[in-house]
Structure 1
Amino acid sequence: MKWLSSKWTKLFFLVFVVAGLMITPSHTRADVMYSTFTRDGFGKLVWGIQPAYSPDKIIAHDLVVPDPDDPNIMVPSPMRGPQDVFVTGNDEIYVADTGNNRIVHFDADGSFIRFISLEDDPLSSPHGVFVTDDGLIYIADTGNKRIVKLDPDGRLLQTFGKPESRYIPSDLKFDPIKLVVDKRGYIYVVTLGGYYGAIQLDASGQFSKFFGMNQAPFSAIDAIKKALYTREMYENELSKLPPPITNIAVDQNGFIYTVTSGEDVTSNQIKKLNFEGQNILSNDSSLGEGNSSFGEYTSRDFSGSKGLPVNLIDVATDPQGNFIVIDKQYKYVSQYDASGELLFFWGGQSANSITQLGLVKSPVSIALNSKHDLFILDDQEGVLQKFRLSEFGALVYEANGLTLQGKYLESEEAWQEVMKLNAFYTPAMEGLAKAAYKKGDYERAADLYHQSGNEIGYSESFWQIRLLWMQKHFSTMATGLVIAAAVLFVWSKVWQRIRKKWDIRAAGNWKSKKVLGELKHALYVLKHPLDGFTALRYEQKGSILSALIIYAAAYLAIVITVLYTSFSFNKINVRDVNIYMILLQYIVMLGAWIVCNYLISSIYRGEGRFRDTFISTAYALVPIIIIGVPLAVVSNVLTHSEAPIYHYIRFAMVVWIVLLFFWKVQSLQNYSVGETAVNIFLSVFSIAVMAVIALILVGLTNELRIFLYELYQEVTLQ
């Protein structure tokens, strides 16, 4: 065993280290420094997702140029404030190095190839770059207010300034910041502050049209202004201008993606436009209404930016139509499929003092290559970070791609592999549900759709289940209906004979009969509300006990409605329902209404007593019991095909309750119609004021608690 001596051990270790260095990749690797998330069908955050992308390396940190004084010496020339990155079809990388007035060209591995700058006609603050399949280079030369077209070797071919057209407004400023070119050669230019939309130019640079213009925001305040302002005053409102497009991209299928950012932009930040300019992401999707809001984050408190909305800065697409967006505010990357459904999101704030592989300080642009590698350009660091698609991410993309192509059965195996890696991944549940539906396993499809929060898919699966059940049990059901009708007919005859005897026995229990009569009066109120509520006030047709019974029944009806309405019409997770919280809300809302309405009525010449307000409010809730509960039960045999029936009945119930409250106030307080409307408005306003005061008191109480606790700590620690 002498070969295990210290000398041989050291030699073996040296050989092992050298071999390890020889097989180690030249590029830098790092651990994933961020968490990856998704959301379930109910909008809740799902933690513990495997990384979709892993950081790979940093590009452009070692750029050099010849020293002006000695060309034989190379000196560092880092990028300064770069604003755009573009990856070509053969995966070569172009970066608009804005601060250095040049374009930097890298190969597919991120190795430097060349600087592109025009000697005779220099670039000035270029903000955008695009390269066509045949190698033509288009540059948004912002400082020179022009578009520059170069050949593959970087020689100037053509420049386009502000186009001349009678369709272009005189106030349009041509400061191009981003551009793309479609397969027809049409150029789409985004200008700084251009709220008319992207400028579409033909191949020769002639104006074609404005493309993808956003809609101007319009709120309730705007409606009031429009009614009160003169036409000139309203047209001069700056807020009436639509938000400008801030970035643009094009995919292999010719769809144009626009990015709109700003504090007031909370929806349609990303649009996927067809050749007519229609946003297909706002159409119906497999989850019902298409997604209209993009950009995810996990907290509203990063770097003191609490409450600020996401600020999407760029979008990138892959050949399958999936797209990725990045948020400059929270530094989160969000990945969506071709229909706009969320797949993953990840990211976070980088440390200020160092450069961290995997985290960026100030993202300004992103791009994807043919291998799904992601590139994020950081203008503060002046570098480009590269991320590789993980095994889990690749598996999701493969499975989801098959699903989007309608190959549900082919995608099942891939989705099952995804589920093995993460059993809570919602898109995998969606994919398996579609595969089960395709195979005719509607029970499993409905269960998976329910777990994933897809009420549309659940309803379609249930429709098939109901159809099969009806086909199988139609004869039995028809026979049962005939028997039930016969039994009902016989029972009605028998009931007429025993009714008198039952009434005689019941007459002995005066109190029970009185309460039953008071509860029966609720039905009379529904038929004759004005007379019914008047009887409660002047004929003592109701009591505190009967009101409490109705209040309890109404609460139970609300709980039944929440828990047992079909998932097709009530998209909630039953496990998250807190019946005690429902009870608290129920008591607080009713208590606030009763107190505020009584006080307003007392001030506003009302004649009703507090007792009358308490009792009559209960009788106005009866439709919840007689309509809400049966509707919840019946909803479990309905699908979205019968949704108009469900929603019509529910709307009618709400209208009925509102009318009963109106007639209740009118009858008890002896008001006219106008006085009743004023009373209800003041009551609702009083409730709102009470809520504000309660919030203030809760806040002050919490502050007082914190102050006393800190004072206690100060005293005890000294």
Structure 2
Amino acid sequence: MRSYLMKQILVVLLVAVISTVAVQPEATYAYTPYSTNYKDGYDQLVWTQSAYNPVAALGRDIYIPDPRKPDQLIFSPLKQAQDLFIDDKDHIYIADTGNNRIVHLDEQGKLVRILEVKESPLNKPQGLFIDPKGTIYIADTGNKRVVSLDKDGRFIREFKRPESKFLPASFKFDPVKLVVDKRGFLYIAALGGYQGLVQLDPAGNFQGFFGANTTSFSLIDMFKRLVYTREMYVREISKLPGSIASVTTDQDGMVYTVSKDIEYGQIKKLNIAGLDQLESKGDFAKGDKKTSYGETAFFDYQHRVPLLADLTVDSDGNITVIDSKLKVVNQYDSSGNLLFFWWGDDNAVTTKLGLVKTPTAITTNSKNELFILDGENNFVQSFRLSEFGALVHKANHLTQEGKYEESEAPWAEVNRLNAYYTPAILGLAKAAYKKGDYTQAQQLFYEAGQAQGYSDAFWQNRLVWFQKNFGVLMNVAIALFIFLFVLEKWSKKSGWRQKWRQRKHSERLLVQQLKQAFYILKHPIDGFGALRHENKAGAWSSLIIWVLALASFCLMQAGISFIFNPAVILEVNLLTVAIQFLAIWLAWVISNYLISSILRGEGRFRDVVYGSTYALFPLVLVGLPLTLISNVMTLNESSIYNFLYIGLFTWIGLLLFWKVQSMQNYSIGETSVSVVLSMVTMTVLGVLIFITVGLTKELTDFGYSVFQEVTIR
């Protein structure tokens, strides 16, 4: 009886296990040999569930007829393959560069045919494109041409270097990647072509360069241009924009490029006019700073930088880019917002499904599955969206289309699965804003760290509050006006104001020295002179003003609205802020005193200390009000805030200038020289301290190593 019962239990358990596996297809992808992450607007790393799961390795079993024995097949693997393309039928085409051929696989990865173009043999083909009609375009790099074939693989024509007076004589036409638009115009990425994509019409005539990168121009370059002679400048290495590494297109005909050797704007989404549609379009984009693409999870001690090699765009508009140097796969949405990035252990000896040793090319099929060409292992790896990745894509696609309320449910599920995934918080914030729940939207935008959305929601909440309390505010304003008017009339009639002005009183010296700070604001030259000649400053008064200035500066760093100071979302280390404030102030005092002594200034060290402290008084007066005002302002009033913020430090700078002029008895020209040399000395002191600390650490490590050697022996 007992054995029969045990058999029954085993049967039930077996059925349960089989049923569980049957209803959970994702269980087969429980393990992935790579980590998937996200970076928020503050560059903080956030772990996420896998967005894609590895499915299969394709193109490993390629057998062709033996030339000597046609009835037998021989193994003919890929060799140095460089490009990958999937047509409308989800058939896979591989530019098998090392074998001078094109390999055609079906959607299952089985060999369909080999294209070698015997009537005009290929030589190191590196790029592929198939248009909706089935016409095959090949970037035949070794032959310096583009070849077009019909859908059956028959040679149609070739596009060689076009003859045009607008094409520089030094330009080398070595096609590596290409796309063809609906009109039949070719956009060709040439090897090292910094001028942009070569645009040819269907007849092969040169139409111009398209989507070129811009050259960065630094202050050093500006200085060289002003100072160098023409001969010296000509000998300088010319600054050229980065070349386009690859190109692709989407269903709407937009042209996408990925470039190397540039710091910002590596990915571009170009319209027909060649204008980048990704520039300053992301949720965390800043108008004064260009967006950089290519993610790194941790600090690279080898100082390697991302090298983006190829990209693809799926049917939802998501852009996926491969980094051939760091072996990272990056995915962005249609506005350039990061969705995921993942990487594996590129030092692994064994080959694992999902671990791409050398990503060479990437493409996507109609099911939004990814296919990555592994140049080292010589096969194609396919990846399918996980449940989490599909949910993110669905929600984000609805958000990108402006269907915020419809996206709320999938974003809520994403947020349930990963509460730290910022795009989900941002999507919920946009949905709340669309529904008119501005309080919830403001809180969610704050959690996501998205300043523009927070500002818009706060503006709506501020408007509602003002409308509700307008009557009360007006009554308070009227009552205050009447009170001040009556008080002014009464004080004039009773003579109280005159008696107050004529009162006799004695003030302590400390109070008089503190009041001098207000006098300096109105009469800086005379005020600073009085600090030196009339004993209007002292150690205690200077210490009080300095401490108040430090407190005000720390308050500003920690209390200004995150709209204008995003760092407040993160933990602000006030000790670090205080040390920085003290270091800059001390460096200025020491440098200014040394330079003034060399330039025969009349001020004593004590005068420099007192004057430099009193010059910080605007920080005491403006710091707290500016902090409070910033928390009731929106980005629409950013010009007002910037005016006050910049004006504050400009005011302090002017006071320091007048301090030097008055206390050292300089002319305006001498003061200017002294201030500039003081700032240069500050820089030199900083460099010397940095070098000293570095050398001290090295010396300490050396001494410790010697001590270990001695004690061991």
RMSD: 3.0
Number of corresponding residues: 706
The change in CA–CA distance for 1:491 and 1:43 in structure 2 (over 3 A counts) is farther
Structure 1 partner of 2:476: 480
Structure 1 partner of 2:123: 124
Structure 1 partner of 2:567: 572
Task: Deviation per CA, 1:63-107: give whole Å up to 9, x if none.
Answer: 222333333443321111111111112211111010000111111
Percent identity reads 46
Equivalent residues of 2:29, 2:53 under 8 A apart: no
* Cα drift, residue 238 of structure 1: 4.1
Equivalent residues of 2:558, 2:568 under 8 A apart: no
SS at 2:658's partner residue? helix
Consecutive unaligned residues of structure 2, counting only runs of 5 or more, are: none
Give the counterpart letter for 1:360 in structure 2. Answer: V
Structure 2 partner of 1:340: 336
Distance 1:716 1:133 in 2: 76
Distance 1:536 1:23 in 2: 84
Structure 1 partner of 2:248: 249
Give the counterpart letter for 1:176 in structure 2. Answer: P
Moved more, 108-117 or 390-399: 108-117
Give the counterpart letter for 1:70 in structure 2. Answer: K
Task: Deviation per CA, 1:115-155: give whole Å up to 9, x if none.
Answer: 11112221100000111112111000011111111111111
The change in CA–CA distance for 1:62 and 1:18 in structure 2 (over 3 A counts) is farther
Structure 2 partner of 1:267: 264
Give the counterpart letter for 1:255 in structure 2. Answer: M
* Cα drift, residue 190 of structure 1: 0.9
Give the counterpart letter for 2:624 in structure 1. Answer: V
Q: Does 1:533 align with 2:525?
A: no
* Cα drift, residue 640 of structure 1: 1.4
Task: Deviation per CA, 1:487-506: give whole Å up to 9, x if none.
Answer: 44566667984997899796
* Cα drift, residue 254 of structure 1: 1.0
Structure 2 counterparts to residues 110-509 of structure 1, below 5 A: 110-229=109-228, 234=233, 237-262=236-261, 265-289=262-286, 292-301=291-300, 306-351=302-347, 353-489=349-485, 497=496, 507=506
Distance 1:322 1:447 in 2: 28
Moved more, 217-226 or 429-438: 217-226
* Cα drift, residue 203 of structure 1: 1.7
Equivalent residues of 1:128, 1:140 under 8 A apart: yes
* Cα drift, residue 393 of structure 1: 0.8
SS at 1:239's partner residue? coil
Distance 1:20 1:49 in 2: 25
Equivalent residues of 1:314, 1:364 under 8 A apart: yes
* Cα drift, residue 295 of structure 1: 0.5
Distance 1:601 1:116 in 2: 80
Structure 2 partner of 1:687: 682
Give the counterpart letter for 1:684 in structure 2. Answer: M
Structure 2 partner of 1:516: 511
The change in CA–CA distance for 1:21 and 1:475 in structure 2 (over 3 A counts) is closer
Distance 2:296 2:151 in 1: 40
Equivalent residues of 1:37, 1:49 under 8 A apart: yes
Give the counterpart letter for 2:386 in structure 1. Answer: S
Give the counterpart letter for 1:41 in structure 2. Answer: G
Distance 2:589 2:467 in 1: 52
Q: Does 1:40 align with 2:40?
A: yes
Moved more, 7-16 or 599-608: 7-16
* Cα drift, residue 610 of structure 1: 0.9
Distance 1:18 1:49 in 2: 29
Distance 2:420 2:15 in 1: 46
* Cα drift, residue 44 of structure 1: 1.7
Q: Does 1:604 align with 2:577?
A: no
Structure 1 partner of 2:611: 616
Give the counterpart letter for 1:316 in structure 2. Answer: T
Task: Deviation per CA, 1:664-693: give whole Å up to 9, x if none.
Answer: 111111111121111112211111111111
Structure 1 partner of 2:627: 632
Equivalent residues of 1:287, 1:457 under 8 A apart: no
Structure 1 partner of 2:549: 554
Give the counterpart letter for 1:445 in structure 2. Answer: A
SS at 1:688's partner residue? helix
Give the counterpart letter for 2:274 in structure 1. Answer: G
Structure 1 partner of 2:644: 649
The change in CA–CA distance for 1:581 and 1:212 in structure 2 (over 3 A counts) is same
* Cα drift, residue 12 of structure 1: 13
Equivalent residues of 2:438, 2:461 under 8 A apart: yes
Structure 2 counterparts to residues 658-673 of structure 1, below 5 A: 658-673=653-668
* Cα drift, residue 323 of structure 1: 0.3
Moved more, 331-340 or 343-352: 343-352
Task: Deviation per CA, 1:518-538: give whole Å up to 9, x if none.
Answer: 111111111111111111111
Distance 1:430 1:258 in 2: 28
Give the counterpart letter for 1:267 in structure 2. Answer: Y
So what's the TM-score if we normalise by structure 2?
Answer: 0.93
Distance 2:688 2:235 in 1: 38
Moved more, 707-716 or 580-589: 707-716
* Cα drift, residue 696 of structure 1: 1.4
Equivalent residues of 1:29, 1:57 under 8 A apart: no
Equivalent residues of 1:330, 1:348 under 8 A apart: no
The change in CA–CA distance for 1:664 and 1:172 in structure 2 (over 3 A counts) is same
Distance 2:443 2:22 in 1: 53
* Cα drift, residue 162 of structure 1: 1.1
Task: Deviation per CA, 1:216-270: give whole Å up to 9, x if none.
Answer: 23222222332344557646754332222121111111111111102xx110111
Distance 1:300 1:688 in 2: 27
Task: Deviation per CA, 1:191-213: give whole Å up to 9, x if none.
Answer: 11112211111122222221111
* Cα drift, residue 574 of structure 1: 4.4
Consecutive unaligned residues of structure 1, counting only runs of 5 or more, are: none
Distance 1:187 1:454 in 2: 40
The change in CA–CA distance for 1:300 and 1:74 in structure 2 (over 3 A counts) is farther
Structure 2 partner of 1:88: 87
SS at 1:583's partner residue? helix
* Cα drift, residue 360 of structure 1: 1.9
Equivalent residues of 1:300, 1:308 under 8 A apart: no
Distance 2:340 2:694 in 1: 37
